[in-house]
A = this chain, B = another copy of it.
Amino acid sequence: MNRPRLHTAESLAEVESRPAARSVNSATIASELRREIIDGVYAYRDRLPPERLLAERFGAARGTVRAALARLEETKLLTREPGRGAFVRYRGHAEQDDIAELTSPLELIDVRIAVEPDMARLAVRHANAQDLRRMSDALERVEDCNGDAEVFSRGDEAFHMCLAECTRNPLMLWLYRHINEVRHRTQWNIRKDKILTPQAIEGYNRQHRDLYNAIVARDAEAATQILNDHLKQARADLLGVHP
């Protein structure tokens, strides 16, 4: 039946909900909304109430609210999209929110570049025979993906997870589990098909094999270098797909 047609006669009842004294100017509205955004009243990617509702709430005209929103948009706290609404762009406290939702693919790869090369060094130092066997298994599985982006992606995750296990460092393993979780759950995986062409997969697999050999040979410098190249390449592929 009839849906939200809110702003009808209730405006009369809302006389008290706001001070609504003459402090109705765009600046105060902007600062109040800014505070609410930073305080997390509206979380990252949440939609703010429609301009018409905000106008009612602040006892101001819609144009005034629009001026306030424009300020917040300039400050990068908001983005506004015609027909859709105003959305929070400010990424507040990662502690309470879903970290996978807050992390962009570029930020993810930057973290991986920071962690994994030296993780390979630790892996060389601490991997035992059983670790190497598991790594070899993972390597074969990811090489058997036949160019399927989805299968490769899962196998790749498992392979890198193996590397983390090779370090035999519980904290490192804990950290990488979470990195991998973010990687697995990041919504931008949509681009995978564009990035993971059969040729790209072949290249990645070659690097995987090289990395495995370096670890078996206990060549820490080579392993670090290979993984660094591997991730830098992934970063370049990520950037190259859009602009």
Contacts and interface: CB of A to CB of B under 8 A. Distances in A.
A77 to B, nearest CB: 7
B99 A122 contact: no
**Count of identical protomers in the assembly:** 2
Given A2-B42, A43-B2, A17 B8 contact: yes
**Size range of the chain A interface in the assembly:** 35 or more
A57 to B, nearest CB: 7
Interface in A153-188: 167, 169-175, 177-179, 181-182, 184-187
A41 B139 CA distance: 33
A138 interface: no
A13 interface: yes
Interface string A10-40: 1011100111110111011001001000100
A5 B53 contact: yes
Contacts of A43: 1-2, 31
A111 interface: yes
A75 interface: yes
Contact of A76 (B18, B87, B185): B185
Contacts of A47: 23, 25, 27-28
